[in-house]
Amino acid sequence: MVAVDPSYPLTPLVGFIAAGLLVPVLFSSLIRESWNLGVIFLCFWLICENLIFAVNAILWSDNADAKFFVYCEIASHVRIAADIVKPMSTLIIMRRLYSIASLRPPRLADQADRRRNSQIEWTLGCIIPVLCAGPFYLALQGPRYDILQGFGCSGPTIRAILPFVVVYPWYILPAVVSVTFYYPSVVMRFYRHGAEVNRFLHSVESGVSQVSYIRILALASIDLVLTLPVSITTVVMLMLHMIQIKHPPLYLSWPTDIVKQSPTIKSWAELTSASTPGSGLVEVYFVRWTTVLLSVVVFAILGLTKGARELYWSALHTAMRWLGYHRDSPERSALRSPALSPIEFNEATMSTEPRSHPSPTNSIAY
C-alpha cells in the first residue's frame, strides 16, 4: 500500500541520519570531557527518540494497526522520558555554565561538592525522567498508548487530572528555571565581568576552554528556543483536551481502567482534521522535526570541533587495524623506516691456492 504521509520516506531517512550524527558526539563526549553530563543525557535520549520516530514511520507508513505491543509499550514511555530530558539537560548545562561564570569550576570543588553536584545532575537527567515515564505514568495513564496512522505509537492522551499534574509540569519547569535564573545570571556575569571571566577561561584552573564554553552556551540557547515552545504547546494542548472532558476523574483506577484498555487508534483523516487538541498533524510534524533539527544543531556545534575530528580519525584507524588494514601513508613510512642502500653483489673470486678455512662465494655490501 501507499504511505499516507507525503513526506515518506524522507521522515524515517532523516531520523536515522540524525541518530547517526549524534552517536560520535555521544562517544566523544564520554571520552574527552568530564563536565558535560547534560550533553551526554541530551545526546542519548535524542538518539533514542530519532530511532523511534524512524522505525514508527516505517512500520506504520500505510496503516494504523495495533501491533508490536511490547515495542509500543517501551517506545511510548521512552518518548515521554526524552521529552522531559530535553529541558532537564538544558538546566544541567546552565548550572555548569553558571558555576564556571562564577569562577567556581566543578573540577576545583571539594569532594563533597562534586558528589552533591553529581547527585543533582543524575537526579535531574535520569531519575526524574525515568520515574515520570515509568511508574508514575504507568500508574496514572489513560489508554496504554496511541497509534497514529503514518507515524506509529505515541504517548497516550491524558484523561485524568493527577497524571497531568504529576508528569507534565516537568516539561516546562526546568526550562523556566533556566530562562529566569541561570541564563540571565550567566549573561550578566559575562557583561559585567567579561575580562575576568575570559582570563579565568584561559587559565588551567577552569577546566574548559573559552571556545568550548561559548559552544555549550550556544547549544543551551538553541535547546531552549526549540524545546520550550514544544513543551508549552504540548501542555496547552493537553489542557484544552482536559477542558473538553466533562468532569475528568482525579485518577484512573488501576489496573481495571488501564491494563484492560486497548490502544487508541487515530486515522490519517482524524489527524488532518485536528479534531482532538494535541493530536493534529501540525503538532505531530512540529515535534518530530524540531527533534531532528535539535540533533543536527548538536552535531554542528559539538561534532565538528578539532578534538572531535581527531577522535573520529583515531577511531577509524583503530577499526582499520582491527580489520587488518594498517597501511601507512608515505610520509609516516619514510619516518618509520630509514632508506636502505641498494644491495650489491660482488663477483666470486676463485683461487687454486689452498685455504685453511672456506671463504664465502659472495658478499653483501650495504
263 pLDDT tier (thresholds 50, 70, 90): confident
| CATH number of the domain that residue 194 is part of | 1.20.1070.10
Average pLDDT estimate for 197-215: 63
pLDDT for the residue numbered 330 = 46
Average pLDDT estimate for 319-332: 64
Average pLDDT estimate for 7-19: 91
Q: What domain range includes position 210?
A: 10-320
CA distance 183 to 177: 9
Q: Examine residue 243 and state whether it is found in any structural domain, yes or no.
A: yes
pLDDT for the residue numbered 196 = 66
φ, ψ for residue 303, nearest 5 deg: -95, -5
Q: Examine residue 173 and state whether it is found in any structural domain, yes or no.
A: yes
Pairing of strands 264-266, 152-154: unpaired
pLDDT for the residue numbered 14 = 94
CA distance 218 to 274: 35
36 pLDDT tier (thresholds 50, 70, 90): confident
Q: Examine residue 307 and state whether it is found in any structural domain, yes or no.
A: yes
pLDDT digits (tens, 9 = 90+) for 266-325: 888 877 775 554 456 777 888 888 899 999 999 998 888 777 777 778 777 777 888 777
CA distance 305 to 220: 17
Flag whether pLDDT at 122 surpasses 60: yes
Flag whether pLDDT at 364 surpasses 70: no
Q: Which three cell numbers stand for residue 95?
A: 548550572
- The set of residues, in sequence order, having a beta carbon less than 8 Å from that of 86 and lying 6+ positions away, is 42, 45, 46, 223, 227, 231, 294
209 pLDDT tier (thresholds 50, 70, 90): low
Helices 10-32, 37-59: axis angle to 10 degrees equals 160
pTM (2 d.p.): 0.78
Q: Examine residue 364 and state whether it is found in any structural domain, yes or no.
A: no
Q: Which three cell numbers stand for residue 193?
A: 565581568
Q: Examine residue 336 and state whether it is found in any structural domain, yes or no.
A: no
pLDDT for the residue numbered 168 = 82
331 pLDDT tier (thresholds 50, 70, 90): very low
Average pLDDT estimate for 222-230: 83
Q: Examine residue 347 and state whether it is found in any structural domain, yes or no.
A: no
Q: Examine residue 56 and state whether it is found in any structural domain, yes or no.
A: yes
pLDDT digits (tens, 9 = 90+) for 75-104: 988 988 998 999 999 999 888 888 877 766
Q: Please, what is the average pLDDT of the chain?
A: 76
Higher-confidence residue of 22 and 33: namely: 22
Q: Examine residue 302 and state whether it is found in any structural domain, yes or no.
A: yes
Closest C-alpha to 229, from 297, 296, 165, 282: 282
Per the structure, the count of domains in the chain is 1
Average pLDDT estimate for 205-229: 75
pLDDT digits (tens, 9 = 90+) for 132-166: 888 777 766 656 778 888 888 887 766 677 777 88
Helix (H/G/I), strand (E/B), else coil: 152:
strand
CA distance 33 to 218: 17
